[in-house]
């Protein structure tokens, strides 16, 4: 059994510590107030800053970067820490813009190894960061399934920015994750009306009913103008879900390490 520490820094940014490893997801450390362009006439303003500054981080062994082209997943301060962050794992297209990054497409695997630590196999999982046929507009995005010796409850799965879709459901069923770091928020823009670009709570319930994880850790649902469903909205929808689904959700306190058994 692995006891891991999760520190939610803000948005999609989480420091994960276990077995001597320190992994950082989607580094975002810019202060609030700036508006970021996401292309095709869409943009969003950052409303809250990180609960931990980049300078306050311990040394990081690897960064798991779901995509490189949106400021709410990789901002200027996050990009600045990459050269000192050890291994970077991201999309195949994104790796071409980052020196020495490992690029993965969905279904491909890379391994992290270091003396005295468990080897971690990282497999990219499919994401669709928007409605059907939106990939040419929104770009390549991946999630990450992490396995290592001693896991009792199944892999750790970081969904990345995605809506609920068939390839995601199939991949999740194959992974059978024990713990899910779940990107939510129901992202939307005035320009695109009712279309959503990340999962809503109702979609998350459908996913959890399909794969029955042990623990769900919601992230990336707050701190930005483009989120259409914050924690209150997520919890309101969860109240309509079966109790066994509601009980899976565990909210990470911002900036404070929380322990989870993996």
- For 107-116, the pLDDT digits (tens) are 999 999 999 9
150 in any annotated domain: yes
What pLDDT score was predicted for residue 150?
87
What is the CATH number for 161?
A: 3.60.15.10
What pLDDT score was predicted for residue 100?
87
Number of domains, the chain: 1
259 in any annotated domain: no
156 in any annotated domain: yes
- The residue range of the domain holding 146 is 3-252
Which residues sit opposite 182 in a β-bridge?
Answer: 218
Phi, psi dihedrals of residue 207, rounded to the nearest 5°? -60, -45
C-alpha distances (whole Å) from 113 to each of 24, 133, 152, 258 are 16, 37, 20, 25
Which residues sit opposite 65 in a β-bridge?
Answer: none
Handedness of CA 70, 73, 78, 79 (dihedral sign): negative
87 in any annotated domain: yes
% of the chain residues with pLDDT over 70: 100
What pLDDT score was predicted for residue 261?
87
The pair of three-digit structure tokens given for residue 8, joined into one six-digit string: 């939610």
What pLDDT score was predicted for residue 40?
85
**Which of these, 198, 115, 183, lies nearest to 144 by C-alpha position?**
183
What string of pLDDT tens digits covers the 262 residues of the chain? Answer: 788 999 999 999 999 999 999 999 999 999 999 999 998 889 999 999 999 999 999 999 999 999 999 999 999 999 999 999 999 999 999 999 998 899 999 999 999 999 999 999 999 999 999 999 999 889 999 999 999 998 989 999 999 999 999 999 999 999 999 999 999 999 999 999 999 999 999 999 999 999 999 999 999 999 999 999 999 999 999 999 999 999 999 999 999 999 998 8
C-alpha distances (whole Å) from 125 to each of 164, 208, 253 are 13, 16, 26
260 in any annotated domain: no
Q: Compute the C-alpha angle 177/222/139, nearest 5°.
A: 65
* Integer Cα distance of 80 and 144 in angstroms: 22
Which residues sit opposite 124 in a β-bridge?
Answer: 144
42 in any annotated domain: yes
The pair of three-digit structure tokens given for residue 256, joined into one six-digit string: 């404070």
């Amino acid at each position: 059994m692995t006891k891991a520490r999760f520190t939610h820094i803000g948005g999609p940014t989480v420091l994960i510590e276990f077995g001597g490893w320190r992994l950082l997801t989607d580094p975002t450390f810019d202060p609030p107030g700036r508006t970021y362009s996401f292309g095709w006439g869409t943009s969003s303003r950052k409303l809250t800053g990180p609960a931990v500054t980049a300078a306050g981080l311990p040394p990081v062994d690897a960064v798991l970067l779901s995509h490189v082209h949106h400021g709410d997943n990789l901002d200027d301060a996050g990009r600045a820490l990459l050269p000192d962050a050890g291994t970077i794992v991201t999309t195949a297209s994104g790796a071409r813009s980052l020196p020495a990054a490992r690029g993965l497409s969905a279904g491909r695997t890379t391994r992290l190894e270091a003396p005295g630590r468990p080897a971690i196999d990282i497999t990219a999982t499919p994401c669709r960061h928007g409605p059907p046929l939106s990939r040419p507009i929104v770009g390549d995005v991946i999630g990450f399934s992490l396995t290592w010796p001693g896991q009792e409850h199944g892999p750790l799965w970081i969904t990345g920015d995605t809506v609920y879709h068939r390839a995601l459901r199939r991949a999740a069923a194959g992974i059978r994750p024990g713990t899910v770091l779940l990107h939510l928020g129901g992202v939307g823009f005035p320009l695109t009306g009712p279309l959503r670009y990340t999962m809503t709570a109702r979609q998350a319930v459908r996913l959890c009913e399909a794969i029955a994880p042990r623990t769900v850790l919601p992230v990336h649902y707050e701190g930005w103008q483009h989120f259409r469903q914050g924690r209150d909205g997520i919890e309101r929808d969860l109240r309509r879900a079966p109790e066994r689904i509601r009980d899976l959700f565990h909210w990470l306190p911002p900036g404070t390490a929380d322990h989870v058994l993996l």
